[in-house]
Amino acid sequence: MAPAGSSRWCPTTQQLMMLEEMYRSGVRTPNANQIQQITSQLSLYGKIEGKNVFYWFQNHKARERLRLRKKLTKQLQQQQQLYHQLQHNPHFLHYLDSPASPAFQHLSCYNPASANLFLQAGIHDEGGKQVTNYTWNIDIPENVDKNKAIMRMYGSDWLMMVDVGLPLSSLPCYSMISRPPLKTLELFPVTASNLKEECNNIKNNNSNSSNSLSSVSCNITPAKVPVSLP
Amino acid sequence: MAPAGSSRWCPTTQQLMMLEEMYRSGVRTPNANQIQQITSQLSLYGKIEGKNVFYWFQNHKARERLRLRKKLTKQLQQQQQLYHQLQHNPHFLHYLDSPASPAFQHLSCYNPASANLFLQAGIHDEGGKQVTNYTWNIDIPENVDKNKAIMRMYGSDWLMMVDVGLPLSSLPCYSMISRPPLKTLELFPVTASNLKEECNNIKNNNSNSSNSLSSVSCNITPAKVPVSLP
DNA sequence: GCAAATTAATGATTTATTCAAG
DNA sequence: CTTGAATAAATCATTAATTTGC
């Protein structure tokens, strides 16, 4: 709303709503006649004159164009940045192994039969900067269907709930991720879980089936670790 | 980026970009395995742990839903408000006579040959709902092709530039619009019949008749107007 | 220009709802 | 019907962004 002695038009809420509705409806550059009629209508809801309507559409159109262009260029350069990163880190985006993620099916290359992971630590050059990468070997129970695993909070602990998929017992097993996890992934196997009753069942069932926990590995590459800082 | 002793994860720009890219690609509820792999990848670009990824997707999904819902309800209630206003001020939105407004083409019917505008108001049933239709007759200067008229400032005056469409002189004519234009809109009802087909007929039938006219028939059927609102 | 004050975004948690199995 | 798993919604809490007064 316009303050009493305001030097410029301040559209009332209703006026704005109507203008926006018209804009949505396709009005872009009303001619003089349309402007006059719009003005008369809007004048029912507050002081307004033709030029206000004229300028409003002009500004609105221009600013929408601007917003759109800005958005597009931003998206573009984000894409380019991503592609650039892809070149230097080709693993990126190639890790989603679940068919439940349709958009990634064409990118994923998970081979559940050959799923041996390894620890790797090395220094390589990345964009002129030396970077240390680590991968960890994490012991996870064998036979787990990792695609069915889910993350949950349990009390104050962060759990990775995995299905060990035993032929005789399909009961899920809970493996605990230690806290603080801030040091990045200290995952350890829970043979005799301290958690829930279900695990006792598994444990019992496992006792004779020699379901040793051979290590599944999780290849984890932690944060950039510059070897030398300026 | 996370401040040194931050209590919560602050995604780096790159991490955010990647998460958003994944989201755009269709990832919504990654399972534990996916979360771990995403985490490993993102850890290249800053400190991060699995739960951050988990929460990020959860929040992002939820908030996108929220934004969408909000947007929809807002649009709806704006529509309803507009309809309500239509009831009390049925002239509203019935003034756009130009075919240059594509969204209104299905509502408008421009007849350059006919000298009269018609108003029609009535209620009929449409799919079980009562709907009010209106058309108006508008008095405008003769021989003016309103659709070519434009508004311009001239000195300190606001001009309506119209093309009188003279056969011998195609030079545009400038006519000044009186200020304030606020009370315009002299619309009268007319008992003429309906709709596009008819207008088209008129238009076609009269296409060869004298186009010295100055009136435009504008048959506008406003959006559905529930007769009673909650 | 800057810094306190205010507001908006968004990460993290908790609570409610949905849905399927038994 | 009850229960448990999973998800969605609501909420809390901290950080980023913006406004405001000097």
Q: What string of pLDDT tens digits covers the 230 residues of chain A? A: 445 556 678 877 778 778 877 777 778 888 888 888 888 888 888 888 888 888 888 887 777 777 666 666 666 666 666 666 655 655 544 545 444 333 333 222 222 222 222 222 223 333 333 333 333 333 455 555 666 666 665 545 566 665 554 433 333 334 444 333 333 333 322 222 333 333 333 333 333 333 333 333 333 333 332 323 23
Tell me whether A100 touches chain B (CB under 8 Å). Answer: yes
Give the span between the Cα atoms of A219 and A136, in whole angstroms: 6
Residues whose CB falls within 8 Å of the CB of residue B167, separated by 6 or more in sequence, listed in order: none
Q: Which residue of B has its CA nearest to A133?
A: B44
Count Cβ atoms within 10 A of the Cβ of residue B2 and give its class: 0-12 exposed, 13-18 middle, 19 or more buried. middle
Work out the minimum CA distance from A98 to partner chain B, whole angstroms.
8
Chain A residues 40-69 with a CB less than 8 Å from chain B: 40-41, 43-44, 48-51, 54
- Of B25, B47, B150, nearest to A32 by CB-CB distance is B150
Tell me whether B32 touches chain A (CB under 8 Å). Answer: yes
Question: Strands B121-126, A225-226: parallel, antiparallel or unpaired by DSSP?
Answer: unpaired
Give the span between the Cα atoms of B189 and B5, in whole angstroms: 73
Nearest to A93 by CA among B90, B25, B159: B25
B174 CB neighbours strand C below 7 A: no
Tell me whether B4 touches chain A (CB under 8 Å). Answer: no
- Residue recorded with tokens 């407004």: B101
Chain B residues 113-132 with a CB less than 8 Å from chain A: none
CB pairs under 8 A between A and B: 210
Give the span between the Cα atoms of B123 and B115, in whole angstroms: 26
Give the span between the Cα atoms of A167 and A38, in whole angstroms: 74
Sign of CA dihedral A119, A124, A127, A131: positive
pTM of the model: 0.43
